[in-house]
Structure 1
Amino acid sequence: MSTALTKAQLVALMAERMDTDKKSAAAALDTLSNIILETVAAGGAVTIPDVGKISCRDRPARMVRNPATGEQMEKEADRAVKVTVAKKLKESINA
């Protein structure tokens, strides 16, 4: 198996392990992706057991520096996606 799975490879692997066809596996993956997108965009969080938690956090306005010119400027408040990796995933990497 390669180090990075494409969507097609992931769908094929899911179909094999779920003992179903690729169309059903693709629908399950798309549904999960849409749920995560909608929930996080609304400011919520999604926890995937043994993988981690995906959430949205607010970042306050702050001063930043343009690396090309060195000019200081204020960056407006915005939101960012935060991913917290689960302990089980961290442990599986070093096992």
Structure 2
Amino acid sequence: MNTAELVDVIVAKDAGLTKVQAKQVVDTLLNAIRDAAVKGEEVSLPGFGKFKVQDKPARQARNPRTGETIEVAATKKVVFTPAKVLKDAVAG
């Protein structure tokens, strides 16, 4: 599902919003999650899951082509942990 399909679902659910308003809601939600991640904050959506930033330390890796050891820099990544309700719904 992409953003346009999500907007269509919101409009179809009789939320009383136009497509333009629904797209603004979706964009605002995604921007809020992004902004929180940039600040290193956790975003918790009960019944859905949590978005949080994890620090990945620097490490050594091996170049598969040459076998040479290389240094991989430390980085941060955003991870999503689904809530139990979502896990159970997907599992069927």
* TM-score between the two structures when normalised by the length of structure 1: 0.87
Is the 1:52–1:83 contact (alpha carbons within 8 Å) kept by the matching residues of 2? yes
Equivalenced residues, count: 91
Residue 85 of structure 1 corresponds to 82
Aligned-residue sequence identity (percent) comes to 36
User: Are residue 15 (structure 1) and residue 8 (structure 2) matched?
Assistant: no
Provide structure 1 residue ranges, at least 5 long, that are not aligned to the other structure.
none
* TM-score between the two structures when normalised by the length of structure 2: 0.90
Is the 2:56–2:76 contact (alpha carbons within 8 Å) kept by the matching residues of 1? yes
CA distance in 2, matches of 1:87, 1:73: 39
SS in 1 for 2:76: strand
Displacement of 1:53 in angstroms is: 0.6
After superposition, the C-alpha distances for 1:16-72 in whole angstroms (9 at most, x for unaligned) are 222321111101000001000110011111112222111111111111111222211
Match runs of 1:4-83 below 5 Å: 5-17=1-13, 18-83=15-80
CA-atom RMSD, angstroms? 1.2
CA distance in 1, matches of 2:80, 2:58: 21
Runs (4+) off by over 4 Å: none
Provide structure 2 residue ranges, at least 5 long, that are not aligned to the other structure.
none
